Amino acid sequence: MLKRFSAEFIGTLWLVLGGCGSAVIAAAFPSVGIGLLGVSLAFGLTVLTMAYAIGHVSGCHLNPAVSIGLFTGGRFPAKDLAPYIVAQVLGGIAGAAILYVIASGAPGFDLKGGFACNGFGDHSPGHYSMIAAFVTEFVMSFAFLFIICGSTHGKAPVGFAPIAIGLGLTLIHLISIPVTNTSVNPARSLGPAIFVGGWALEQLWLFWVAPLLGAACGGVVYRWLGAEDKAQVKGDA
């Protein structure tokens, strides 16, 4: 469990540092900014690279919503939920702390720029409402779990799951960055919010509730959809 805990900590740290770091440091950098497409790809790459690096150790959840969704989908034991979520939260905070040290070294750095926090209303990149933000985070988290469960199914092509999951997260960011700055991951949301405080912490509840509910529903639905029919199994035999 200590190795699995450590893997989840390191992986979530990498996700926050790589994904949020691309948004804070590189998104609008003069003349070579990577923009929305680059930030979306960066988040996808953090999951893809870590899935190959630690997938065989911990399963590479990197996200409390993923752990909850895999539990409701019958893929993860309840006894391991708390340790995984603690590791992910600590990793997210550590990643945000490293990013703060790096980003604050630039002239004119100001946390008022948002520090890649998630938000709705006045703090949404596109000023989307709370309802729009909630629906977006719920649906995107549902879809993310659907992709994870499907690509890691016993009958899915072996070895390609990290690619599907990484590209899935990239697509999710391409859709939802304008709405919420994209969470689908409570640990990713918590880390930067701690440093910004104020409105970021006040709105943080949505980026826990919506992803957890969406992922839990995604796990339940795929558990039903992906279950092999007994008659079909006999026929295959």
**What are 107-143's pLDDT values in tens digits?**
989 998 889 999 999 999 999 999 999 999 999 999 9
What is the DSSP annotation of the chain? -HHHHHHHHHHHHHHIIIIIHIIIIITT-TTT--HHHHHHHHHHHHHHHHHHHHHHHH----SHHHHHHHHHTTSS-GGGHHHHHHHHHHHHHHHHHHHHHHHTTSTT--GGG-TT----GGGSTT---HHHHHHHHHHHHHHHHHHHHHHTSTTSPTT-HHHHHHHHHHHHHHHHHHHHS--S-HHHHHHHHHHH-THHHHTTTHHHHHHHHHHHHHHHHHHHHSSPPHHHHHHH-
User: Does residue 236 lie in a domain region?
Assistant: no
User: Does residue 23 lie in a domain region?
Assistant: yes
User: Does residue 98 lie in a domain region?
Assistant: yes
User: Does residue 31 lie in a domain region?
Assistant: yes
Q: What is the number of structural domains in the chain? A: 1
User: Does residue 203 lie in a domain region?
Assistant: yes
**What are 180-210's pLDDT values in tens digits?**
999 999 999 999 999 999 999 999 999 999 9
pTM of structure: 0.91
User: Does residue 235 lie in a domain region?
Assistant: no
User: Does residue 233 lie in a domain region?
Assistant: no
Full residue range of the structural domain in which residue 46 is found: 2-104+113-227
The CATH number linked to 21 is 1.20.1080.10
User: Does residue 237 lie in a domain region?
Assistant: no
